[in-house]
Structures are given as C-alpha cells and as structure tokens.
Amino acid sequence: MPELPEVEVTRMGIAPALVGRTVSAVSLRAPALRYPLPAALARHLKGKTLAGIARRGKYLLLDFGTGTVLLHLGMSGTLRLLPPRTPAGKHDHVDLVFDDLMLRLNDPRRFGALLWIEGDPNAHALIKDLGMEPLARSFTAKALHRRLTGRSAAIKLAIMDAHVVVGVGNIYASEALFRAGIAPRTPAGKVSLARLERLVTAIKETLRSAIRAGGSTLRDFFGCDGDPGHFQLEHRVYGREGEACRRCGTKIRQIRQGQRSTYYCPKCQR
C-alpha cells in the first residue's frame, strides 16, 4: 500500500541484491493487473542483465539495457526477494528469477502494473506527464506556486495530483498539511507563497522521515515473512479522528475529499 517512501524503500531494498545480475527465468501468472501482463516478458528478459533501478514518482524502472520493466505497486503491491522455486501463493503474479535469487510481485487488489518498455521510459505515456519530484532541489515553493496559481481545487487534492507533484499519497498529504498548518480545503490558488514554503518543507520532511523509518525494515525484503510495505511513522493526524491533536489537544476531524478520507486539526490548520 505504497506511497513514495514505501516505493523508495523497496527500491533501496532490492537494488543492491539485484543490480548487475542476469535473469535466468520469468514466471507470469494470470490474471492481469491493471494492464495485461506482457506475455513476451521472458523472451525479452532471459539472459539480460539488470543495469539499475530508478524511481519516478511511485513507478519503479528496472533498466535492462535493451528495455525497461515499469513497475507500479498500486494500493496493495509488494516486492520480495525469495529463494527460487518458492511455491507461489495467492496473488503472487510475477517472478523474475536471477539464478539463486528471485524477485516476486504480490498484489491482492491488482491495481498495480508491470509493463515492458522499449525506448526512453521517460517518454512513456504513464511517465511523461508526471509532475515534480518532491525530494528534488527543483521542488520549491516558487515552482509549486506557479503550478497552483488560479486553481480552485482544494490544496489537499492539488498536492495529491501526480501531474503537479508525484508521490504524495493520501496519508502523507494529510500529514504534510498538518505540519504546515494549512487547512486541507483551502483553494490551492489561494495559499500564499509564504505558506507554500512551509508546505514544501513539510512535504520533504514528511517523506524523508518516512524513508528513514523504512530503512530499518530493509532486511524484510529477504525471506517469506517480510512485510516491507507496512512500516510507518507515528501519524500526527491520519487515522486519528476524535483523538487529541498532539500539538494543541483539539479533537482531530475527518472529512471526505475526492472520495478519500482527510484528517486535520481544526485549530492548528487554518
């Protein structure tokens, strides 16, 4: 159930074990994920060496030189490193075998994706229109301000829009707005530059600390009992409806925005 930190921790967990290694076998199991699985994947990958794993937003890009495996974990996807020939359980959709080590994709809800891309992956339809990387230097209040000027949508929905900034999911959107002291329903275009400074800082800090917290779970990528998607920091507002605000004691409220739950402190966030 990954937001950007979970995806980045997954990348950090699997890359050292797999980069530089060669694919010996591929297993695909029905049914399809968000898109049909590429039937020719084994033909494309067998004998190919993994040159690197990059992340763009919540997508993982496995670079095999002649092409790229594009991976998205959706709402419920996880990747694990297992001994080859580990029996496949329910929702184990794809195995990439690297001789004595296997990368397995499990995704119960099947909102995830695995695609084979030839050519520049950044030109792919799913990638090319993505917004700013929140951890990049170029993600600044000024840049965000430029992007949000004139927009009437709620600030919470705006920072969750992957065409504006990638990787801020439903949990971290609420958490970042709390840290920045901004009410989630404020029209995005009406948030001042000064307050966007606080928001950009809050987004970077929230994501960075979650990645740091996830670092302690990296060993969980090995072995069948691993559960690497489920680390998380103590939330300040998310999931705490009716509980006391950690800063001022006011009861945390829950509302619906775009059919998703938003949590906020009515006193700390204006």
Which of 11, 34, 48, 208 touches DNA by CB under 7 A? 34
Q: What burial class does residue 214 get, using C-beta atoms within 10 Å of its C-beta: 0-12 exposed, 13-18 middle, 19+ buried?
A: buried
Q: What contacts 175, CB < 8 A, 6 or more positions away? A: 206, 235, 236, 237, 238
**Residue 13 near DNA by CB under 7 A:** no
Does 151 show up as a binding residue in the annotation? yes
Nearest alpha carbon to residue 171 among 248, 251, 261:
261
Does 235 show up as a binding residue in the annotation? no
234 included as an active-site residue: no
2 included as an active-site residue: yes
**Residue 2 near DNA by CB under 7 A:** yes
3-state secondary structure of 253: strand
Which of 11, 21, 44, 110 touches DNA by CB under 7 A? 110
Does 247 show up as a binding residue in the annotation? no
Residues between 175 and 194 with contacts to DNA, criterion CB under 7 A: 188-189
Of the residues 34, 185, 247, 260, which is catalytic? 260
Q: How many residues does the chain have?
A: 270
**Residue 232 near DNA by CB under 7 A:** yes
As a whole number of angstroms, the distance between CA 95 and CA 87 comes to 11
Report which DSSP code applies to 262.
E
Q: CA of 245: how far to CAs of 235, 253, 268, in Å?
A: 11, 10, 9
Taking the least distance from each CB to DNA, the nearer of 68 and 170 is 170
267 included as an active-site residue: no
Residues between 51 and 90 with contacts to DNA, criterion CB under 7 A: 57-59, 72, 74-75, 90
**For residue 38, which phi and psi values (nearest 5 degrees)?**
-70, 110
Binding site as annotated, residues = 91, 109, 151
Q: Which residues are catalytic?
A: 2-3, 58, 260
Chain contacts with DNA (rule: CB under 7 A): 1-3, 6, 34, 57-59, 72, 74-75, 90-91, 108-111, 126, 150-154, 157-158, 160, 162, 169-171, 188-189, 229-230, 232, 258-261
Binding site as annotated, residues for DNA = 91, 109, 151
